[in-house]
Structure 1
Amino acid sequence: MHPSVILRILGVLLAVFSLASLPPMLVAWIYNEPEITLFGYTFLVTLLTGLGCWLPFYRTRYELRPRDGFLVTVLFWWVLSLFASIPFLLMDAPALSITDAFFEAMSGLTTTGATILTNIETLPRSILFYRQQLQWFGGMGIIVLAVAVLPMLGIGGMQLYRTEAPGPIKDRKLTPRIAETAKTLWYLYLAITIACAVAYWVAGMNAFDAISHSFSTVAIGGFSTYDASIGYFDSSLIEAIAIFFMVISGMNFALHYFALHDKDPLYYFKDPEVQAYLGILLGVSIVTVLVLQYTGVYTDWDALRYGLFQVVSIATTTGFGITDFSLWPIFLPLLLFLTSFSGACAGSTGGGMKVIRILLIFKQGSRELKRLIHPNAIFAIKLGGRAVPDRVGEAVWGFFSAYVFVFILLELAVLATGVDIVTAFSTVASCLNNLGPALGEAAANYQSLPDAAKWFLSFAMLLGRLEIFTLMVLFSPMFWRH
């Protein structure tokens, strides 16, 4: 492990992240808001700290090893969240504590969407834009962006990409060079964001809201510029646009690339993960709509409108809302939360355990049933007609076990802070799955939770964003041995 290399990389990444303060400064200037000074301070502090970490070691030349990649990734998300919280700490109203400011920043960067803020529409436009922008950067992962820069500085980025990329199979590259892969992903991410913003604007949003909501839609983040979220607009067209972009943002971005590159939309229908993903969305939507109709909560059209939107929003771990689903009858709120555990596809901006893992677990369970009937037979697990290596299956089961174990520990920890069991279950599930909305005391927002609970939940957000093992490996004694 090379501390000098790690500090050098952190310095570069912080210096790059300091540029994130410039767009909100421009918004503050356009709307003549005093927050332009606030973001100016944030820019200088972040930039100077980054340069301070980088300059003493700028001549250091070492290739990142796997252990270095894990440590840099985890440190960067914590450090980044700390510096991202500066604008929330410095703003006049509402006055936030360090805990609340860090929670909001972590929630934004991990695209969780949980918030401690109320009366959001009264906040300055620059602060609103900054919140949305945090989610946009966090969506694809600012470290993936940095991977495109690091090779030019003499530092390889493959180990960063592997620890940041979601899903059980992490070595798939769109192009031969990792830097080109990162650039390709970001160009695609940017193009989808622009398309989403234009669609929102054409549907009736003003330019500010269209851009802001496109950030959180494509990032599958869920932050909004209004307390009522997408429900503020009360527009079926806007909701349909949101559904479309939430669905495609929940798919593997590599799949989008190959479908566009080869001009073959059949890629989506051939991919077993997408088939399972769309099947889950369709199945849960049908159940939800039928229950809403049967219980008389909504009429036929409204049941379809509200049911479909909330299922897609929760299942993809976006977290937008057009109604308070926590008040829905019988098992529906729990069903939606359980659906968020499967989340979106690997290689997407979504959270959860990823559909590919759920699909593999299902196939392995099916194989064990077959073995009970035919003990001597050999059954291979296949996806898309190809056998899945046993090592991948073992990794999936290991991840699933760790996910459940961590969830139980975090729920007990939050319960120990004095929170009721419904609130503890839903907030931990929401933060670990990078979802946002919760039940119980946190149904509206997380403001009323104890500070200790907010720190546990911030930790859960990072665990979910880095998919458990990237962070848990740092707690292994073997990791620190030479």
Structure 2
Amino acid sequence: MHFKVILRILGILLMIFSITQIPPMLVSLYYNDGAVHAFAIAFAITLLIGFIIWLPVFNVRQDLRTRDGFLITVLFWSVLAAAGSLPLQLSQSPHLSFTDAIFESLSGLTTTGATVMTGLDTLPKSLLYYRQQLQWFGGMGIIVLAVAILPMLGIGGMQLYRAETPGPVKDSKLTPRITETAKALWYIYLSLTVACALGYWAAGMSMFDAIGHSFSTVAIGGFSTHDESMAYFDSPLIEAICVFFMVVSGVNFGLHFFAWRQRTLLHYLKDPEFKFYLMLLVSITAFAFVSLVATATFDPLESLRKASFMVVSIATTTGFTTSDFSHWPSMLPFLLFVAAFAGGCAGSTGGGMKVIRILLILKQGHREILRLIHPNAIIPVKLGKRPIGDNVLEAVWGFFSVYLIVFVIMLIGLLATGLDQVTAWSAVGATLNNLGPGLGGVALHYGDLNATAKWILCLAMLLGRLEVFTLLVLLSPAFWRR
């Protein structure tokens, strides 16, 4: 383990992250909202700590190993979440406790969107902007992690990128170097954000709200600058723009890169994960629409509007709301919530287990049925026209098993803190899938939970964002042996 190199990278990350306190400082000065000191102090503390960590090892040059990659990846979110919580603790409004500030910061950086804050409409503009910015930077970090780093670490079947996925993500990298890959992804991510912001602004949002909501839309985050979320605007056009960019941001960014590089959209229709992703969204939306009309919850036009927005928002793990879906009739709240377990496509800003894993699990299940009928047949599992190796399928099944085990353990932990079953179940699911809104006591916010429950959910957010194994591998004694 190259601890000096890890410390050097960590120090650099903190110093870079300190710069992100400058934009909200400027916003605070522009609106004169009295929160500028919180960001100024946070900037100084983060920069100083990063410099102190970096200075003794600034000239260390060593190649990183796979184990170093695991540790750096976990530290990236853990340490930056702590640094990101500083303005929330230092600000006089809302002046969050240490636990609440860590929860809010980690929720932003992991693009979970679970919040402990209420009364958003009365908070300083700079604090509102800062929450949105946390999600935007976290979303970009996720893209680079998913496309450029996790495939090389072989996390839970994501080596599929390196070995099996056709098209632009072959051999785990879009371009020959990770730095070039990250740069290309930044351009795409930034372009989508600008397009989304302009769309919101043209549809009637203020420039402040348009920028803030574009950050959380493209990051599949779900934070809003208003307590009512997207319902605040009550605009079918704004909701339609939001649905489009949520769907686009839930797609593998490798496909976006290929579309940008080759100037073609045909490869989207050839990608099995993309087709399955759209099929899930369309079929669940259709079912929700029919159910809302049949139960006379809304009129047909309003049912289509509510169903399409809420299904896309929850299924992609964004978490924006235009209606309290937890009070929808029949099994709809449960159905929407379960859809979030699939989440977005691999290599997107979406959470959940990822659509491609669900697709491979279904294909593997179908193969087992055929094997019962034809015991001696050799039946490969294919993604498109490419056969998938058993090592990848085993990794996917391993990920699925561990994901469910982690879910159950955390559910038991929350129940032990005194939460009711619906609240505990949905809170774990919403944070582990990086969704945000849950059911029961966490349908609106997480502020009423006890501190122990919040720390359990912080761990759930981190596990979900780091694909579970990235964090769990650090708990293995074998990881620390030389």
Fold match by TM threshold 0.5: yes
Partner of 1:180: 180
Partner Cα separation in structure 1 for residue 451 and residue 55 of structure 2:
36
Kept after mapping to 2: 8 A contact 1:69/1:160: no
Change in 2 beyond 3 A, CA 1:302/1:143: closer
Q: Deviations over 1:40-98 (max 9, x none)?
A: 11111111111111110011111111111111111221111111000110111223111
Partner Cα separation in structure 1 for residue 263 and residue 155 of structure 2:
25
Partner Cα separation in structure 1 for residue 376 and residue 472 of structure 2:
38
Kept after mapping to 2: 8 A contact 1:66/1:159: no
Per the normalisation by structure 2, the TM-score is 0.96
Partner Cα separation in structure 2 for residue 82 and residue 17 of structure 1:
11
Unaligned runs of 5+ in 2: 163-171
Show the 5 A alignment for 1:206-355.
206-355=206-355
Partner Cα separation in structure 2 for residue 95 and residue 113 of structure 1:
19
Partner Cα separation in structure 1 for residue 399 and residue 151 of structure 2:
19
Partner Cα separation in structure 1 for residue 154 and residue 189 of structure 2:
16
Partner Cα separation in structure 1 for residue 416 and residue 22 of structure 2:
41
Unaligned runs of 5+ in 1: 148-156
Change in 2 beyond 3 A, CA 1:201/1:166: farther
Distance apart, 1:166 and its partner CA: 9.1
Partner Cα separation in structure 1 for residue 143 and residue 259 of structure 2:
25
Distance apart, 1:159 and its partner CA: 5.5
Partner Cα separation in structure 1 for residue 286 and residue 144 of structure 2:
37
Q: Secondary structure at the match of 1:227?
A: coil
Partner of 1:388: 388
Kept after mapping to 2: 8 A contact 1:196/1:214: yes
Partner of 1:203: 203
Show the 5 A alignment for 1:1-150.
1-141=1-141, 144=144
Q: Deviations over 1:131-160 (max 9, x none)?
A: 000000001217939x9xxxxxxxxx9757
Kept after mapping to 1: 8 A contact 2:157/2:392: no
Show the 5 A alignment for 1:404-423.
404-423=404-423
Kept after mapping to 2: 8 A contact 1:144/1:161: no
Partner Cα separation in structure 1 for residue 149 and residue 271 of structure 2:
27
Q: Deviations over 1:188-229 (max 9, x none)?
A: 000000000000000000100000000000000000000000
Counterpart AA for 2:88: F
Q: Deviations over 1:436-456 (max 9, x none)?
A: 001111111001111000000
Per the normalisation by structure 1, the TM-score is 0.96
Partner of 1:428: 428
Change in 2 beyond 3 A, CA 1:219/1:189: same
Kept after mapping to 2: 8 A contact 1:167/1:346: no
Kept after mapping to 2: 8 A contact 1:65/1:159: no
Q: Deviations over 1:278-329 (max 9, x none)?
A: 0000110011010000011000000000011000000000000001000001
Counterpart AA for 2:306: Y
Partner Cα separation in structure 2 for residue 203 and residue 183 of structure 1:
30
Q: Could you say what the CA RMSD is over the residues aligned between the two structures, in angstroms?
A: 1.7
Kept after mapping to 1: 8 A contact 2:293/2:300: yes
Counterpart AA for 2:83: F
Partner Cα separation in structure 2 for residue 82 and residue 161 of structure 1:
27
Counterpart AA for 1:207: M
Change in 2 beyond 3 A, CA 1:400/1:272: same
Partner Cα separation in structure 1 for residue 225 and residue 476 of structure 2:
41
Kept after mapping to 2: 8 A contact 1:73/1:163: no
Kept after mapping to 1: 8 A contact 2:431/2:461: yes
Q: Deviations over 1:251-271 (max 9, x none)?
A: 000101112211221111110
Q: Secondary structure at the match of 2:20?
A: helix
Partner Cα separation in structure 1 for residue 149 and residue 289 of structure 2:
44
Change in 2 beyond 3 A, CA 1:89/1:357: same
Which deviates more, 338-347 or 24-33? Answer: 24-33
Distance apart, 1:165 and its partner CA: 8.7
Counterpart AA for 2:478: M
Kept after mapping to 1: 8 A contact 2:156/2:395: no
Distance apart, 1:170 and its partner CA: 4.5
Q: Secondary structure at the match of 2:417?
A: coil
Q: Deviations over 1:421-450 (max 9, x none)?
A: 000000000000000001111111001111
Change in 2 beyond 3 A, CA 1:357/1:24: same
Partner Cα separation in structure 1 for residue 6 and residue 284 of structure 2:
45
Counterpart AA for 1:8: R
Percent identical pairs in the alignment equals: 59
Q: Secondary structure at the match of 1:353?
A: coil
Distance apart, 1:3 and its partner CA: 1.5
Change in 2 beyond 3 A, CA 1:44/1:143: farther
Kept after mapping to 1: 8 A contact 2:156/2:469: no
Partner Cα separation in structure 2 for residue 60 and residue 258 of structure 1:
36
Change in 2 beyond 3 A, CA 1:55/1:68: same
Change in 2 beyond 3 A, CA 1:345/1:427: same
